[in-house]
Amino acid sequence: MTSTIRRFTCLKAFFAALVLSFSSLAMAADAPMLLAQSSEPSSTQASEVQNQLDINSADAKTIADSLVGIGITKAQDIVAYREMYGNFHSIDELIEVKGIGEATLEKIRHLVAVVPQ
């Protein structure tokens, strides 16, 4: 009787170890996929960036064509400011460009991105 209990206990321990080792392997296999998924931008984030105009690389015609309330003259002023002072560090810096006030900045804020170069 004692040997039967020992065999049963050994078998029980063996199966428990087997189950735990397979579950550990399964979790380890899923870990890289979870890390990869968390580091990728969501489709919403990607589409927001794609729909915005990078004012650090756009030319005057593209700026004028893409931004509401910005004509070719203001677009040329944006490019001239960028050439004189270097790339924009924030969207709020557009307020320093002649002819762009608070109201204009608020109209175009969602359309503009500042991509570091």
Task: In whole angstroms, give the CA distance from residue 71 to residue 79.
Answer: 12
Burial of 19 (0-12, 13-18, 19+ CB in 10 A): exposed
Check residue 60 and give its pLDDT: 97
* Chain segment 20-51, per-residue pLDDT in tens: 565 554 445 544 444 344 444 443 333 345 68
pTM of the model: 0.58
* Chain segment 54-79, per-residue pLDDT in tens: 999 999 999 999 998 999 999 999 99
Residue 113 β-bridge partners: 54
CATH number belonging to domain 48-113: 1.10.150.320
Examine the pLDDT at 86 and tell me if it is beyond 60. Answer: yes
Would you place residue 117 in the very low, low, confident or very high pLDDT band (cuts 50, 70, 90)?
confident
Q: Where are the domains of the chain?
A: 2-40, 48-113
